[in-house]
Chain A
């Protein structure tokens, strides 16, 4: 199975080869899509992990031990759907296919599995309904 996660690094571990260990020790396939990591600061990394539930659980335990939080992308993107007026402004900037609007009913469709945490929807929503946990 293939899933997207945000890895949240604390400032203590940004110098450690976390991804190397993840691949080497737990045999999970990691594809880094986006990273904001600098020495001495908290950081975030968007990754796609391909593995099975068992290996993923082991990897997650290791990450927890190193104070790296593994957050499924669906939890990283916050959206107050109840307040959405279905204007479509966010779809103008979402290129990953996460946010779409169209026929027949022209209501906003949110497919969080497609989110790439680019963050463009956050300022694009005129009602300020999106939040994104990524970066410092």
Chain B
């Protein structure tokens, strides 16, 4: 029995839609068939709260008088990209203050959401139309025109877990990896993860409304490194990082509870991003997809000590969540890097918003690519 988006929205408006989190529906699926779930459940909320380096926001500072073509710009000492129009800039989450590499774009973005004041310094060469050559100002989210978050790659579908076979500690974006397989870290919310609940993106595409750090935003495009060709397991779930999303939302509407700057030792600055996506249960196929549990989702354990981080094992999220997995006959501790507690909180908030009719569902304006692969970079002078 298929449902349309309109029928689901009407049920929401009448107040009798059944909205569950992906964890709740995974438990329900232990008793009920996909057909029964499709008949009973209308919307399933998914969420994640992890470090996503490919994040940032466009900001328009407003024009000083006389004008300045801002070419070299810093906020609290952190360079921000000014290679666009006069007072537009892009704050990249991983950019750092050269004098304090533990402080960077992620911190600026978090501070802006909190309503804090930042010191802007900008320089330009002086032109006939923009004669000023320097400006210093204190700015905050209310003083500037727009702050639009545009994250080129978020919500990675199934990021691989990480370990370290070498004899020395590795400091990575996957956390501190202890020598001789001292630990394994992983960074997805598993059965609650957005793109694992709709693995072929039937309901998620351009124009899909998302919860982005507390604001309502949209999927603006496929994310970078979007890959549909990764091997999948018998449940149709990719075994390592596959599809991604580019996301856009108004930073002025965000909530600091769902956005946190991070510094990974000897790696750099990043940003924890809270993301939630509701999935309409249109039919039995989607019901089967949202029913997946951590026992069915597998990921690849990659060795960060080796060139290219080769995969060395395949594990389920149920095993990773148990606290240790067996690797080459020995028990290795596992630790998460993305916050399941926060992801659950987002899934619950989103559930309430969907139920209240505050988060209308719609079909994507256009689907994301059905065939896409990722290229490496061949270097100048390479013979091959």
Write the residues of chain A forming the contact surface with B, with a CB cutoff of 8 angstroms.
85-89, 91-93, 95, 101-103, 105-107, 120, 123-124, 126-128
Is B260 among interface residues, defined by CB-CB distance under 8 A?
yes
In the complex, the chain B residue whose C-beta lies closest to that of A85 is B339
Knowing A85-B342, A87-B338, A89-B335 are in contact, say whether A127-B262 is a contact too (CB < 8 A). Answer: yes
Q: Is the CB of B342 within 8 A of A93?
A: no
> Could you name 11 residue pairs across A and B whose Cβ atoms are closer than 8 Å?
A86-B340, A86-B341, A87-B339, A89-B336, A91-B336, A92-B335, A93-B176, A93-B178, A95-B333, A124-B176, A126-B263
Output the nearest chain A residue to B184 by Cβ-Cβ distance: A92
Tally the A-B contacts, defined by beta carbons under 8 Å.
Answer: 76
Contact A101:B335 (CB < 8 A) given known A86-B341, A89-B185, A93-B183: yes
Distance from A102 Cβ to chain B, minimum over Cβ atoms (Å) = 6
Q: Is the CB of B336 within 8 A of A126?
A: no
Contact A128 to B263, CB < 8 A, known contacts A87-B339, A106-B341, A107-B341: yes
Docked-complex contact A105 and B341, CB < 8 angstroms: yes
| CB-based nearest A residue for B344 | A106
Distance of A88 Cα from B183 Cα, bound (Å) = 13
Once the chains bind, are B260 and A85 in contact (CB under 8 Å)? yes
In the assembled complex, the Cα of A127 lies from the Cα of B175 at a distance in Å of 12
A93 CA / B335 CA spacing, docked (Å): 9
Given known A87-B336, A92-B176, A92-B333, contact A126–B341 (CB-CB < 8 A): no
Nearest CB of chain A from residue B327's CB, rounded to whole Å:
15
Chain B residues in the interface with A (C-beta under 8 A):
49-51, 102, 171, 175-178, 183, 185, 260-265, 270, 272, 321, 323, 333, 335-342, 344
Q: How far is the CA of A85 from the CA of B260 in the complex (A)?
A: 8
Query: Considering only CB atoms, which chain A residue lies closest to B49 in the complex?
Result: A85
User: Within the complex, what minimum Cβ distance (angstroms) separates A115 from chain B?
Assistant: 17
Give complex CA distance A93, B344 in Å.
Answer: 24
CA of A107 to CA of B339, assembled, Å:
9
Residues of A within 8 A of B176 (CB): 89, 92-93, 120, 123-124
**Complex-state Cα separation, A128 to B262, whole angstroms:** 8
Min C-beta distance of A133 to chain B, whole Å: 20
Question: Cβ of B323: which chain A residues have Cβ within 8 Å of it?
Answer: 102
> Would A106 and B175 count as touching, CB distance under 8 A?
no
Cβ–Cβ < 8 Å partners of B321 in chain A:
102-103
Distance in Å: Cβ of B189 to nearest Cβ of chain A? 10
Most A CB atoms within 10 A — which of B50, B175, B335?
B335
Choose among B175, B272, B333, B342 the residue that contacts A124 (Cβ–Cβ < 8 A): B175
B-side contacts of A127, CB under 8 Å: 260-263
CB proximity of A85 to chain B, nearest CB, Å: 5
Chain A residue at minimum C-beta to C-beta distance from B171: A123
A95 to B335, CA, bound (A): 12
Chain A residues near B337: list those with CB within 8 A.
87-89, 92
For A89, the chain B residues whose CB sits under 8 A away are 175-176, 185, 335-337
Beyond A93-B176, A123-B176, A126-B51, list 18 extra A-B contacts (CB 8 Å).
A85-B49, A85-B272, A85-B341, A85-B342, A86-B342, A87-B337, A87-B338, A88-B335, A88-B339, A92-B178, A92-B183, A93-B183, A107-B341, A123-B265, A127-B260, A127-B263, A128-B102, A128-B263
Chain B residues near A86: list those with CB within 8 A: 339-342
Q: How far apart sit A85 and B270, CA to CA, in the bound complex (Å)?
A: 14
